Chains A and B, each alone.
Chain A
Amino acid sequence: MASNLRIVVACKRVVDYAVKIRVNAAGTAVETANVKHSMNPFDEIGTEQAIQIKEAVEKAKGKVDVIAVSCGPSKAQETLRTALAMGADRAIHVETDDDLQPLAVAKLLKAVVEKEKPDIVILGKQAIDDDSNQTGQMLAGLLNWPQATFASKVELAEKAMTVTREVDGGVETIKTSLPAILTTDLRLNVPRYASLPNIMKAKRKPLEKLTIADLGVDVKSRLEILKVTEPPKRQGGKIVESVDELVDKLKNEAKVL
């Protein structure tokens, strides 16, 4: 097992999983004002994975530096504090109020990676707000690194990683050299709770603030969102009085007979 590792974990602040999503009045985006936000659940799994690797390596007298990175408005620092409370060592906040699309985030992460030189970058397979499922793959492309996506199991060896990934109809096991990109799937692990002593410790952990200008990245949107709409409302079921009525409805209304 690797004795010294540096891991970067991407943590996106998104509308909480349990919140019912609403489209804004203009029909251009999801309403985010006054809505509870949390860390993207797949990123939470990524953070947990990084900490599990850290715990395992440090048990074998190695050293692991886990860096949580988030790009977004100042509130993203709350998400980073959560990552720190879970056990990350330090955090980097790329602060911007601009709307960031996956390519922009991938470029910002690339700049961070070039600065920090990690062995592994862990990302959630997708963020639950836009469901793009692109950032990890784009980052791998930009860095020209190998990628192991949709991981449900990770085993680390000296300068290599064996990853079981969930694919249609089964699982696939791949082995990759390091450095590499890892994106997490739901069944990889169950994230831990942030404990009180760790929440207190997290306050004293370093959180570095960067701007887009610091990283010299063009984050201009390449895509334009034309319209966002809610799915059509489900029609309520009807109770029919007789078999004849049912047959009639199946024939004339549902047109399935």
Chain B
Amino acid sequence: MLRRDPTRIELRADDLVDFERSREEYLESKAKLKDQHRKFRSATTGPPPTPAGRDLRSTTASGSGTSSGVNNSREPRPDPFEIAQQERKGKSTAERVLARATFSTYSPTCLAAVHDGKVAYTADKFPHLKRDHSFKKLSEKDISYFKSILASSSITQDEEDLEIFNSDWLRKYRGQSKLVLKPSSTEQVSKILKYCNENRLAVVPQGGNTGLVGKVEKYDKEMQKQMLHATHNAIYFITGGSVPVFDEIVVSMSSMNSIRNFDPVSGALVCDAGCILEVLDKYLEERGYIMPLDLGAKGSCHIGGNVSTNAGGLRLLRYGSLHGTVLGLEVVLPDGTILDNLSTLRKDNTGYDLKQLFIGAEGTLGIVTGVSILSPKRSKAINVALLGLNSFDQIQATFKRSKDELSEILSAFEFWDQEAIKLVKEHLVAGAKDPLQSTYPFYVLVETSGSNKDHDDYKLNNFLEGLMSDDIVQDGVVAQDTTQIHNLWAIREGIPEACSKAGAVYKYDISMPVPVLYKAVEDMKERLVSKEVIGDGKLFTSVIGYGHVGDGNLHLNVAANEFSQEATNLIEPFVFEWAAKHAGSISAEHGLGVSRNNHLHYSKSPTMIQLMIKFKQLIDPNGIMNPYKYLPDV
């Protein structure tokens, strides 16, 4: 029988007054936050910025020192108990969040010194990051324990070998890990985490380390393909999420790489987290299926890493995000508990959908060891057309029409601008031959995938003819064979690499409603032009825009001659504020990692961030999982 829980206090009229007050408090904190931003912006002219945030941070730290919560030994870490205590002392949650948010505004973007060989340590580039001294330093005893549970070939301590795991492919992030473990079973992962949790050893889970938010592994493809892959991988590690910051232990999933089960009727695939995306795709290809996600990095990235970063990529428009296609996960929690949720059910409305919490958690809540994913049927007929257009309005008109006329066979709708094609032509052999006769301000790549080529051809031809005769599209080409399809895609996939060859590139990955998508590029350009910092011999060389129109996702790249604080201050936080103002997200598919975590408040409310911190506290009370990342520094 259901009964009212007598321990719960009944609602009284006074409580309503309290609610009203907390609402006021919240609004007030928002206003304060805005004020702090304004102050900060006016203060950014002098290096290095010392806004009020610095002081607030120390207040926070000393405040937590008085707490007697679980985290007593680890002062800088926030704690719900501690927060509750503070609130009791008259300091509101809103103020604490405000403190955090204010501090974050001057979080530096990485000023990489890539030019002279060795990459600077992430810790040096992000001076506000301090090693958490509550984490134990690795000792011989720890290593002998790991030797007792793992084969000797699964333990890497050699300095040169470690370098691969300590840096990302973009050579933007560099950690100082002294130990890499490569468990080959879920049980081993469980034992490792249990030990690390009990001994307060910090851990960084690593997949293929291709992410732009922070992971890297070796590429086994021929050079050019490698670079193409790498550049796309870059998407997931641009924010430094899978690379250690200090001496965290790297747990590499590369040895857990078997396919556990495939159901040829439903298309449900169950596999280890360390399976390489391309290997899975090849496996499914033989069975007439396809992985629901595709990335330039597919030759090296792991499915577990894809899930942990909620990788988007080229097929998202068609098959949706991993939040929809992942059917279940097997996760090892920080205390070693194995959470077996490897369901293959499409429908399961029982209880909280826990797996969703781990998708895109960037390894901060545990290590994904197994993935159950729904694979769609592989399309038999694929067509690709490249179009040249005069304005972003024409792109939108084309997109609208493609949804009308191509509808269910539309599988990709990508765009790039003139600056992007210019760089591809300058820097890449693959894109050297421009398929169109003359240049256009905008380019669109449309892909269709269907089951019947005649049907698809008919639809695509009608669609393209309509666009031409209505003067929406100026010119275009249609790939006549698979080689041409690859070559057209190579232009789009080559843009990130071409940009990185153009100099120091500030990369932003923002999402927003499609109508304002390109306005971000124009506004950025206008800002830099009005400040007279763009052009020959100036600070910046170009502003490049490309991305997934279908997903409202813009990759905004700002190319500078070199990374500098001055350059950073000109584009940040402008770009984040721009995204927030236009109801967008500051990180559409690149995640947060170590470089975007302090910008989270531009996309999420204090209430939401607070709840996230509580989840983290609940699942990882010692904070050993992928520390210094994802959630705002405190």
Contact = CB atoms under 8 A, between A and B. Distances in A.
Contact of A18 (B436, B475, B477, B482): B482
B435 A17 contact: no
Interface size class of A (residues with CB under 8 A): 20 to 34
Interface in B377-417: 380-382, 385-387
Contact of B465 (A41, A85, A200): A200
A100 B97 CA distance: 77
Given A193-B477, A195-B477, A199-B461, 4 more contacts: A17-B483, A38-B482, A194-B477, A196-B478
20 contacts: A17-B483, A18-B482, A18-B486, A19-B482, A36-B382, A36-B482, A38-B480, A39-B481, A44-B481, A193-B386, A193-B435, A193-B480, A193-B484, A194-B480, A195-B475, A195-B476, A195-B477, A196-B385, A196-B465, A197-B475
A196 B467 CA distance: 10
A34 interface: yes
Interface in A146-163: none
Given A18-B486, A195-B437, A200-B468, A36 B381 contact: yes
Contacts of B164: none
Contact of B479 (A34, A193, A197): A193
Interface of B: 380-382, 385-387, 433, 435-437, 453, 461, 464-465, 468, 473, 475-484, 486
A34 B387 CA distance: 28
Nearest to B483: A17
B478 A193 contact: yes
A196 B483 contact: no
Interface string A1-39: 000000000000000111100000000000000101011
Given A193-B435, A196-B473, A197-B475, A34 B380 contact: yes
A228 B385 CA distance: 36
A61 to B, nearest CB: 22
Nearest to B487: A193
B480 A17 contact: no
A82 interface: yes
A116 B357 CA distance: 71
A18 to B, nearest CB: 3
Contacts of A17: 481-483
Given A17-B483, A193-B484, A199 B381 contact: no
A190 interface: yes
A196 B478 CA distance: 7
Nearest to B473: A196
Interface in A179-198: 190, 193-197
A164 to B, nearest CB: 22
Nearest to B453: A36
B378 to A, nearest CB: 12
A41 B483 CA distance: 9
B433 to A, nearest CB: 6
Interface string A190-217: 1001111101100000000000000000
A22 to B, nearest CB: 10
A234 to B, nearest CB: 15
A38 B481 CA distance: 5
Contacts of B382: 36
A82 B457 CA distance: 13
A197 B465 CA distance: 9
B481 A194 contact: no
Contacts of B465: 196, 200
A194 B461 CA distance: 13
A211 B436 CA distance: 37
Interface string A59-98: 0000000000000000000000010010000000000000
A34 B377 CA distance: 15
Contacts of A85: 480
Contacts of A41: 481, 483
B476 A16 contact: no
Contact of A16 (B385, B437, B482): B482
A19 B468 CA distance: 31
Contacts of B453: 36
A155 to B, nearest CB: 22
Contact of A194 (B380, B387, B473, B478): B478
A243 B251 CA distance: 30
A196 B481 contact: no
Contacts of B483: 17-18, 41
